[in-house]
Amino acid sequence: MLWTPVEGRGPRPLVLIEHGGGQHKQGWEVISRAFRYVTACGFAVAAIDAPGTGGRPEHPEIRRLVALIDARKAAGEPLGAAQPALYETVAAQLIPDWRTTLDALQHLDCVGDSGPVGYYGLSAAGESGIRLVAAEHRITAAVLGLMACDWLIDTAARITVSRPIHPQSTPRHPGTPLCPTYQHRHTEGEGGLPAYQA
């Protein structure tokens, strides 16, 4: 999906918004943020569905890993390697999909190819976003958060966006930073967004 201001042509800033786990590109959390970026900031905003969500077909390996994770949670067992494997499987499809989407969007007059590109993703979208932002040089700003994924420390260290999020004056959420400039951990079991992320 692509949202743009009614008036004018590009180039304009583009924000890629990814939904969290179990959601889709037309969910309220995506649309409400897109609306604000388009109407208040004049940005173009794009969203795509993760594999097996929204209009995309089921992905057998993702379905298997989700069932395994759900069973382990229900039994009170550690998730083990299942959670990193799930995120790796999702990211293996999402990163090429986002790159293809970005290629196509930058050819549109309403977006253009010379405006800055940002990425917004929390929870599962933050996890896959770390991989995307580290791999895609056209993304120059990012909001990544609400996840605890120690397996991505090395990937997060490769992020070189030119507009770091989380200014030092912003209060920190309790938890250990994965990559202090770009991300914070969200303590498992706590609900909702911290006030400074709402």
Nearest to 48 by CA among 84, 12, 100: 100
The predicted model scores a pTM of 0.76
Asked, as a colleague might, if the bond just before 11 is cis with ω within 30 of 0, I would say: yes
Q: What are the pLDDT digits (tens) for 30-40?
A: 888 899 999 99
Residue 162 pLDDT greater than 70, yes or no = no
DSSP 179: B
Q: Other C-beta atoms within 10 Å of 123: how many?
A: 19
- Position 99, amino acid: R
Q: What is the percent of the chain with per-residue pLDDT over 90, rounded to a whole number? A: 34
Domains of the chain from N-terminus onward: 2-197 (3.40.50.1820)
Q: What are the pLDDT digits (tens) for 15-56?
A: 999 887 777 788 888 888 899 999 999 999 999 988 877 888
